[in-house]
Structure 1
Amino acid sequence: MPNTARWAATLTLTATAVCGPLTASATAAPGQAPASLYAPSALVLTTGHGQDAAAATPERAVTLTCAPTASGTHPAAAESCAELRGLNGDLEGLAARNGVFCTKQYDPVVITVAGVWQGKRVAYERTFANECVKNSYGMTLFAF
């Protein structure tokens, strides 16, 4: 194939890949925002017993997608997305609820969160003293 034909084919494929989603978003129904305007927010949350994520075997994993609507395998997807929005996606800001009392038994539980929140990469890991302490943080995000 001559070079000009290769360049023409490459340019056509590139234009289709770049402009294709734009034409789809331009044809969204009136009053409905096109899905391409939302920054991706999709996370995978895992929990397991151990000192840290490297030593712990994940015992449970759930998915959580928050844009454009809440979905995934998380049992409380809508509430968890609302909780994350309230924190502006900053998982370090998640605090223990007042009035929750846990034993001092040491049976470490590790939570990991990986994915994308509003277009930014997320990698979070936290070890809690036990399951009760883990469940006291936030309302629904870690309750899976």
Structure 2
Amino acid sequence: MRYITGGIALGAALVLGTLATTAQATAAPAQPSRSGGLYAQSELVLTVGHGDSRATSTIERAATLSCRPTATGSHPAPRAACAQLRAASGDFGKVTGVVSNRVCTKEWNPIVVTADGVWEGRRVSYTYTFANSCAMNDGKGLVFEF
């Protein structure tokens, strides 16, 4: 009888242990799977504002731009903006550094554009100051067209 009681106690302990483990596994929240690392591959926040620098400018417009897996965001033309960034290999200097033959005044009324976030897994923080709205309209590219 003594051995049967011990066997029942052992069996009961195994069953309760299994139930407790199953309950814990069921109660644990599912963790989202991430295949591309900590950050999304291409997620950006773009801004346009008036001022001499990033620190002193007043932001007038902002847009989000996500280029992977598909082009989305609040940017009005995300596909075109992502295509321009891919063509420039993510170099915002190539996007804003476009030179044309347009003649603008030498008025100093600075407009600051910024891009912050992640581009193809790299942390990005970019700032460019245009002398005035004419210079900005001439050189902002599709990325800052919002």
Report if TM-score (shorter chain) is over 0.5. Answer: yes
Is residue 55 of structure 1 aligned with residue 67 of structure 2?
A: no
CA distance in 2, matches of 1:139, 1:111: 11
Between 115-124 and 36-45, the greater mean CA deviation after superposition? 36-45
Is residue 100 of structure 1 aligned with residue 102 of structure 2?
A: yes
1:21 to 24, 30, 33: 33
Percent identity between matched residues is 45
Which amino acid in structure 1 is aligned with residue 33 of structure 2?
P
| Structure 1 gaps, min length 5 | 23-35
Deviations 1:16-53 (A, max 9, x none): 64xx637xxxxxxxxxxxxx469610100011100001
CA contact (8 A) 1:135 1:142 kept: no
Is the partner of 2:134 in helix, strand or coil? helix
Alignment TM-score, normalising by the size of structure 2: 0.71
Is the partner of 1:74 in helix, strand or coil? coil
Is residue 124 of structure 1 aligned with residue 111 of structure 2?
A: no
What is the count of residue pairs matched by the alignment? Answer: 122
Corresponding residue for residue 69 of structure 1: 70
Cα separation, partners in 2 of 1:44 and 1:93, compared to 1, 3 Å:
same
| Structure 2 gaps, min length 5 | 1-19
Is the partner of 1:21 in helix, strand or coil? coil
Structure 1 stretches of 4+ moved >4 Å: 36-39
Deviations 1:75-123 (A, max 9, x none): 1111110000001101122222423332222110001100000011000
Larger radius of gyration: 2
CA-based RMSD of the aligned residues comes to: 2.8
